[in-house]
Structure 1
Amino acid sequence: MALRRRRLLELCGTAAAVGLAGCLGDSMPGEDDPTHENVSDGTVDYPGMVDGGASVTADRYVTIEYDDPETSFILQPIYEGEEASDDQFRVQRDLSGETMAGFIAPVHTGEAFEYHVFANEAFVEFADWNVVTGTGQNLTDGENPGFERLQGPVYGMVLSPGEAELLAIVDTTAEELQSRDGPSPTGLAIIRGASGGQPEQSVPQISFGFEYDATAEQLTVTHEGGDSVDASRLEFQSDADITVDDDFEGTVAAGDAATLTAPSDAEVRIIWTSAEGDTSATLAAWKGSDA
């Protein structure tokens, strides 16, 4: 399923207003010969940065398990609104290659987590990056200290977003991410509290339109905006006798339509079910004129 801008909201919730601060600028060595204690030959030394108090595993997503406090994180690469492929953008500690690459290292200061963001030159030059944080029901733009060169091809910044559950370095604003008509984002997100290598599924946010031909008893259902969703997750339900003549297929996105035969006294519901089958929700419903 495509990872659209709303997916950032689904991964862990959205942002409260929190302060973000960089702490690299004053201690940076000369631009001609930069060095950094946590970078060697273009590779980030994590979990060495936290004395081995964390583990990093890579499956579909990069997962970080932090020992004290016991917390888990997922790093999520996004490219133009979808899950990034390895030839587009990689989440890894080795930043010496020419393909866009980045890594976020969470470090607990004794009071809260701060996030050391590392990226290669290809990533840094790709966009004018924006910092977005999330906790609750709103996304918030944070202060962006900007990247500074740490060593060779590696650039970095340090962000301190307090108790935020989501931190994203993206090429869009918080307002654009929350808008259904906003641009598809590219960037890197770290999600606190996620585990198992797979972000928890949330109910997709979709606007459906209904057009009914009473003579033919034909109902056309159109995806008019919002999240994309796998057609296998959607089902039409009704207490009346309905027939799905032309169902949704593949990844259902804006403009896709399905047609049903339904009497004018029917009520038709669009039901979404998670891949695990443990969550379902009614996304939209249509009532005929005689229902």
Structure 2
Amino acid sequence: MNFKQLLAEDDAVSPVIGVILMVAITVILAAVIGTFVLGLGDQVGQTTPQASFGFDYNGTALTVTHESGSSIDASLVNITSTVALDNSTGTELEGSGGTTATWESMTGDTEITAGSQATVLEQNANDLSSATVRVIWTSESGSNSATLQKWSGPDA
């Protein structure tokens, strides 16, 4: 066996490396194109905000307070209740007698920051003590939503 001839023959190295590189480039291009086609890149900026809300119920009114966390666009946050509410220009929830309204329509605020408050009042003798009130965030595109906080009355 001639070792010089064995070491001098490297014809098979280049084609193998070339094929591996072409496969890697194809996989990377397919992944990039797939994320744009499926719209996965649009969802990166639509993550649920991290915020904590507190509730203070005095028997007739419920005050919702943003206690801590990130600032949120008020038009993206809804306050929903299982009973009809006053102090909201909201829409009635079908079949439940409840309502939903944006934080912005209830308070006039454009941004919710720590310390921001919204007050929910009873309407037409609907007792909040048996209600469930939720603070719900919805992304600008409407494709994502999350309940940020939930309050149930003492009789719920």
Task: Write the distance in 2 (CA, Å) between the matches of 1:253 and 1:234.
Answer: 12
* Residue in 1 that maps onto 2:109: 249
Q: Provide closer, same or farther for how the CA distance between residues 226 and 67 of structure 1 changes in structure 2, counting only shifts above 3 A.
A: farther
- In structure 1, the gaps of 5 or more residues are 1-65, 73-193
* Residue in 1 that maps onto 2:154: 289
Pick from 72, 87, 94 the counterpart of residue 229 of structure 1: 72
TM-align CA RMSD: 2.4
* Counterpart contact for 1:248–1:256, Cα < 8 Å: no
Task: Write the distance in 2 (CA, Å) between the matches of 1:67 and 1:232.
Answer: 43
Q: Which has the larger share of helix? A: 2
Q: May I ask how many residue pairs the two structures share in their alignment? A: 102
Q: Superposed, which structure 2 residues align to 1:55-204 within 5 Å?
A: 69-70=28-29, 195=41, 199-204=44-49
Q: Provide closer, same or farther for how the CA distance between residues 67 and 230 of structure 1 changes in structure 2, counting only shifts above 3 A.
A: farther
Q: Provide closer, same or farther for how the CA distance between residues 251 and 69 of structure 1 changes in structure 2, counting only shifts above 3 A.
A: same
- In structure 2, the gaps of 5 or more residues are 1-24, 33-39, 89-105, 123-127
| TM-superposed deviation, 1:229 | 0.8
What percentage of aligned pairs have identical amino acids?
41
* Residue in 2 that maps onto 1:210: 55
| TM-superposed deviation, 1:248 | 5.9
Amino acid at match of 1:255: G
User: What is the SS of the residue equivalent to 1:277?
Assistant: coil
Between structure 1 and structure 2, the one with the greater Rg is: 2
Amino acid at match of 1:210: F
Task: Write the distance in 2 (CA, Å) between the matches of 1:210 and 1:225.
Answer: 13
Task: Write the distance in 1 (CA, Å) between the matches of 2:26 and 2:87.
Answer: 52
Task: Write the distance in 2 (CA, Å) between the matches of 1:244 and 1:236.
Answer: 11
1:106-151 Cα offsets, whole Å, 9 max, x none, are: xxxxxxxxxxxxxxxxxxxxxxxxxxxxxxxxxxxxxxxxxxxxxx
Amino acid at match of 1:212: Y
TM-score, normalising length: structure 1: 0.32
Task: Write the distance in 2 (CA, Å) between the matches of 1:254 and 1:203.
Answer: 17
1:160-211 Cα offsets, whole Å, 9 max, x none, are: xxxxxxxxxxxxxxxxxxxxxxxxxxxxxxxxxx746x84301111100111
1:25-80 Cα offsets, whole Å, 9 max, x none, are: xxxxxxxxxxxxxxxxxxxxxxxxxxxxxxxxxxxxxxxxx9873366xxxxxxxx
